[in-house]
Structure 1
Amino acid sequence: MNTKTRNIIGWVLTAILAFAFIASASMKLTGGEQAAKGAAGFGISLATLKMLGVIEIVSILLFIIPRTGMLGLLLLSAYLGGAIATHLEHHLPITAPVVLQCLLWITATIRFPELSQRLSGKVSTVK
């Protein structure tokens, strides 16, 4: 796959992730009645729910910006790990956070070639 195709695919996947995280964060930040009921089911206060929305927005913005993309990747991975654990604790399906986590890592390996080199063990050493 050439560089141009790789860049296009990386940015399209990034846009899909951005849409998903921003939509989720906006539901948390607007704090509607349905969001409050869902948070109460998890034992989360409305203030904590809004903080989670802010964390989502900041993390996805860091992921979108190429210079801070790896930091955003780590923050989003940690966030989704917490989401998976919370879903497991409350006996809910983990499909959505697992799919997002997989899509996040696929996108990151496409956008950041150094990450795919490290994960595959093909790191060149400079002497």
Structure 2
Amino acid sequence: MSQKTIKITGWALTIILGLIFTMSAFMKLTQNETALAQASSFGIDTTTYQFLGIIEIFSLILFIIPRTGILGTLLLIAYLGGAIVTHLQHQQPIAMAVIFQMLLWITAFIRFPELKQRIFQTKKVQQ
């Protein structure tokens, strides 16, 4: 694949994830009735749910900006990890959160090759 194709793919996936996380955060911040019903079934009150929306937006902004993209990636991955655990605790399906987390990792590896290189480093470190 050419560098141009890789760059376009990375940004296309970033836009898709951006739209998904924006919609999710918007539902939390606007106190959508369906979202609030699910949150209350998990024992999450409305104030905490709005705070989660703020964290989601903040992490998303960091993810989209190239200079802070790795930090945003790690924050969103941690956020989704918490969502997965919460769903598991309440016997809810986790497939969507796992799919988004995998898509986030793939996007991060495409956009930030240095992250992939760091995680899958094959050279032995000399002491």
TM-score by length of 1: 0.93
The 3 A distance-change label for structure 1 pair 110 and 123 is farther
What is the CA-CA distance between 1:38 and the residue it aligns to? 1.3
The gaps in structure 2 that reach 5 residues or longer are none
The 3 A distance-change label for structure 1 pair 18 and 123 is farther
Corresponding position of 1:109: 109
Residues of 1 paired with 2:74 and 2:39: CA distance?
A: 24
Corresponding position of 1:95: 95
Residues of 1 paired with 2:44 and 2:34: CA distance?
A: 13
Residues of 1 paired with 2:86 and 2:13: CA distance?
A: 25
Corresponding position of 1:38: 38
Length, aligned pairs only? 125
Structure 1 outlier segments of 4+, above 4 Å: 122-125
Contact 1:63 1:72 in 2 (8 A): yes
Residues of 1 paired with 2:122 and 2:26: CA distance?
A: 40
What is the CA-CA distance between 1:57 and the residue it aligns to? 0.6
What is the CA-CA distance between 1:124 and the residue it aligns to? 9.9
Residues of 2 paired with 1:41 and 1:83: CA distance?
A: 14
SS in 2 for 1:116: helix
Contact 1:117 1:123 in 2 (8 A): no
What is the CA-CA distance between 1:122 and the residue it aligns to? 4.4
SS in 2 for 1:19: helix
Residues of 2 paired with 1:7 and 1:110: CA distance?
A: 8
AA aligned opposite 1:66? P
What is the CA-CA distance between 1:54 and the residue it aligns to? 0.6
Residues of 1 paired with 2:23 and 2:33: CA distance?
A: 16
Residues of 1 paired with 2:54 and 2:107: CA distance?
A: 22
SS in 2 for 1:37: helix
Determine what percentage of the aligned residue pairs are the same residue: 58
The gaps in structure 1 that reach 5 residues or longer are none
